[in-house]
Amino acid sequence: MKLPEIEILDEKDKRLHTISKDVSFPLSKEDKKRINDMLLYLKMSQIDKYREQYNLRAGMGLSYVQIGIPKRIFVVVDETDENVFENYVLINPKIVSNSEELIYVGEGEGCLSVNREVEGIVPRYARITVEAFDMEGNPFTIRVREDLSIAFQHEIDHLNGILFVDKIDPKNPYKNAENMREI
């Protein structure tokens, strides 16, 4: 497989704090190709052989704003079994409900735009329900939990101009951890 040419913005780039705009349909050919390239890039980043060959950091999600385009589109590639992947494409996503239970990633969240280790936790809902559109403009609703819930919330934050590091209290990076479940 050939790695798609995708340039991911670094956290220092002010464009990452842009609030993305809603997308209208039909999608352009360029957008469809870009979405498929993003999915392939993420998949390859999760396969050891390609990660080493192309010197990639493993990534699960990527939003349009991370490639410099402030449109409300994100993709998530979830490895459900070894080298078996489930692809998610969400356009104009909105969280319509969430659990009361909060969770956080024990080893800390990561981001393809943040090229450093970050201490601290980001409170996330354990379960969310999201309304969005697929690539053809069809509306759908999806309920996700645990890792996928975190990934979806992380990417929706990107669409709202928020990086996960913005949500960590610099004075107390593990603030309220006792009120959340570690995953």
Known active-site residue 7:
no
Neighbours of 149 (CB within 10 A): 23
Q: Which of 79, 82, 119, 155 does the annotation list as catalytic?
A: 155
Starting from the edge strand earliest in sequence, which strands make up the sheet with 181-182, in order?
A: 124-125, 102-104, 181-182
Q: Give the whole-angstrom CA distance, residue 1 versus residue 22.
A: 32
Backbone angles phi, psi at 171, to 5 degrees: -80, -25
Residue among 104, 109, 33, 27 nearest 67 (CA)? 33
Cα gap 72→69, rounded to integer Å: 9
CA–CA gap between residue 1 and residue 155 (Å, rounded): 26
- Cα–Cα dist 140/130, whole Å: 8
Active site amino acids = 155
